[in-house]
Amino acid sequence: MLDLTLTEIAEALQGELVITDAAADAGYSPATVVNGTVDTDSRLIGEGDVFVAKRGEFDDGHRFVGAAVESGAALVVVEHAFADAEREAGRQLPVAQIVVDDSVIALGHFATDVVSRVRASGNLKIVGITGSNGKTTTKNLLRAVLERVGETVAPRDSFNNEVGAPLTMLKLTPTTRFLVAEMGASGKGEITRLIRMAKPDVGVVLTVGLAHAGEFGGIETTLATKTEMVIDLDESDVAVLNRDDARVAGMAGKTRARVLWFGLGDDSEVRATEIEASASGTTFILHLPDGQSRPVRFAVLGEHHVMNALAAASAAHVLGVAIDDIVGALETVTRAERWRMEVMGGGDRPTVINDAYNASPDSMAAALKTLAQIAAPGQRTVAVLGEMSELGPYSVEEHDRIGRMVVRLNIGKLFVVGEGARAIHLAAEHEGSWGGEAVFAADADEAYALIAAELRPDDLVLVKSSNSARLRFLGDRIAEATT
């Protein structure tokens, strides 16, 4: 974070600075400078950090203010003060407090202020990334590229909402050259809110699909929400759009920014040719708009991740990164993210592709195609599939489609886990009239017992589900199993 006085922080948060007698005794004053990391998780607070007490669906961060102070917090942001009157009860805090009406809204105000201060230096460039699939992978790839040429701030994990995005923005320093902001949403207006905290110079839209369609209320609402990424861009900005996704391509008419197309077709300015996928990754030729091209040995598993690599390459090209730096960085990334097409096991154990952090109909289909595509001749393929959440009225239809796809791809064995995914099992049995090739388990423990009894050392296993199904831990168990 920047070096800011308590008064400056209170003004940014639009809150009231409270310095109790205990805090004053500890040396705090309005001019005290704070520059620690900002977080809403008290377990991550260290010496000099800022703890934001946020009310959540299941808990209240105000319960952990004391723990944050004990861990070294220099400032707490709260919705009610721990005042002098509480001193005898041992609750008065020996650190500064800023009292706000709503911690999440205040966090957004704080991020907006910090981004504005760093932008004033003239060196900061911001890339915003959104899409139904691929945001985190693209963010990680772009971070790897940009870190080669300058100080880069990007989210950890999938920090892309009204809390995670501001926390990332608050990591900016006066010397940061690039901010990569992953911008997710669960409803209309949320991406607009994030963009107004940190308006991108480059706005990237990857896909518009059925991920979270139930939460959004339908594909048209999803499209409108993702379009928010490009609507507020200026003429001097660049919209990086997926030419191969018709819904994304239609956004070109909604923005004032210059459009840079990426995709697999000849009509894309940044494109890939000669794509070859294998169990060790994917090779392709990267082509840039200036006529330059280079071969890429891309270790991230799955041909579908080539599109994410193209999106990252497009944004990096706009920012002036040389093609050799782009390719060099892409080739250093070995996995999309923990539990995202992560290859585990092998040797005398089955090889497991653990991709159970997120799942949508598009990403589920892509992962299954990869499983079928990279299997060695004679190698048995096994799919362990759980629920794709947040599909609303599309849920049964889309799970049914996946079950039929498993059969059509000739996957050797199917384990379906959890009642929410039962339609996959029913569809596979109906499509293939299998004799035991499709198995249903009520939960992960039952599934593990069934799977472990049947595993062969040379099996190739895909574990795929939404995060809420928690099959990522089942994937870890399968990879560690001995036969």
Determine the 3-state secondary structure of 272 from DSSP.
strand
Task: Answer yes or no: is 133 a known binding residue.
Answer: yes
CATH code for the domain of 310 = 3.40.1190.10
Nearest of 349, 413, 404, 417 to residue 380 by alpha carbon: 413
pLDDT digits (tens, 9 = 90+) for 228-260: 999 999 999 999 999 999 999 999 999 999 999
**Rounded-to-10 torsion of CA 65, 70, 72, 75:** 30
What is the model's pLDDT at position 414? Answer: 96
Q: Measured between alpha carbons, how far is 177 from 170 in angstroms, rounded to an integer?
A: 14
CATH code for the domain of 19 = 3.40.1390.10
Residue 111 shares a structural domain with residue 256: yes
Residue 320 shares a structural domain with residue 437: no
Q: Measured between alpha carbons, how far is 171 from 36 in angstroms, rounded to an integer?
A: 9
Report how many domains make up the chain. Answer: 3
What is the pairing mode between strands 96-99 and 16-18?
antiparallel
Q: What is the 3-state secondary structure (H, E, C) of 357-388?
A: CCCCHHHHHHHHHHHHHHCCCCCCEEEEECCC
Residue 118 shares a structural domain with residue 224: yes
Residue 19 shares a structural domain with residue 121: no
Residue 222 shares a structural domain with residue 364: no
What is the model's pLDDT at position 244? Answer: 96
Task: Answer yes or no: is 132 a known binding residue.
Answer: yes
DSSP secondary structure string for all residues of 1-26: ---EEHHHHHHHHT-EEE--HHHHHT
Determine the 3-state secondary structure of 263 from DSSP.
strand
Q: Is residue 289 part of a domain?
A: yes
Domain boundary among 305, 330, 355: 330
Q: Which amino acid is at 153?
A: V
Asked whether 330 and 141 are in contact (CB, 8 A), the reply is yes
Residue 120 shares a structural domain with residue 35: no
Q: Is residue 336 part of a domain?
A: no
Q: Is residue 33 part of a domain?
A: yes
Q: Which domain holds residue 317?
A: 106-330
Task: Classify residue 48 as exposed, middle or buried by CB count within 10 Å of its CB (0-12, 13-18, 19+).
Answer: middle
Domain boundary among 48, 77, 101: 101
Residue 141 shares a structural domain with residue 258: yes
What is the model's pLDDT at position 242? Answer: 98
Residue 67 shares a structural domain with residue 54: yes
Q: Is residue 133 part of a domain?
A: yes
H/E element, 269 = none
Going from the first residue of the chain to its last (483 residues), give the mean pLDDT of each consecutive group of 10, the final group possibly shorter. Answer: 96 96 94 96 96 88 93 96 56 88 96 96 94 91 97 83 92 96 84 94 92 64 93 96 97 97 97 93 96 96 93 98 98 80 82 89 93 93 94 92 95 95 94 78 95 92 91 90 56
Determine the 3-state secondary structure of 171 from DSSP.
coil
Q: Is residue 375 part of a domain?
A: yes
Sheet with strand 413-417: strands edge to edge? 342-345, 351-355, 460-464, 381-385, 413-417, 438-441
CATH code for the domain of 460 = 3.90.190.20
Q: Is residue 43 part of a domain?
A: yes
Residue 361 shares a structural domain with residue 245: no
Task: Answer yes or no: is 137 a known binding residue.
Answer: yes
Q: Is residue 337 part of a domain?
A: no
Task: Answer yes or no: is 131 a known binding residue.
Answer: yes
Task: Answer yes or no: is 135 a known binding residue.
Answer: yes
What is the model's pLDDT at position 335? Answer: 77
Residue 354 shares a structural domain with residue 323: no
Q: Is residue 269 part of a domain?
A: yes
Residue 262 shares a structural domain with residue 367: no
Q: Measured between alpha carbons, how far is 45 from 26 in angstroms, rounded to an integer?
A: 19
Contacts of 369 (CB under 8 A, 6+ apart): 303, 304, 409
**Per-residue CA distances from 381 to 244, 353, 439 (Å):** 29, 11, 14
Domain boundary among 70, 101, 132: 101
What is the model's pLDDT at position 83? Answer: 66
Q: How many residues are present in the chain? A: 483
Q: What are phi and psi of 123, to 5 degrees?
A: -100, -15
Residue 274 shares a structural domain with residue 157: yes
Count the Cβ atoms, other than its own, within 10 Å of residue 113.
21
What is the model's pLDDT at position 58? Answer: 78
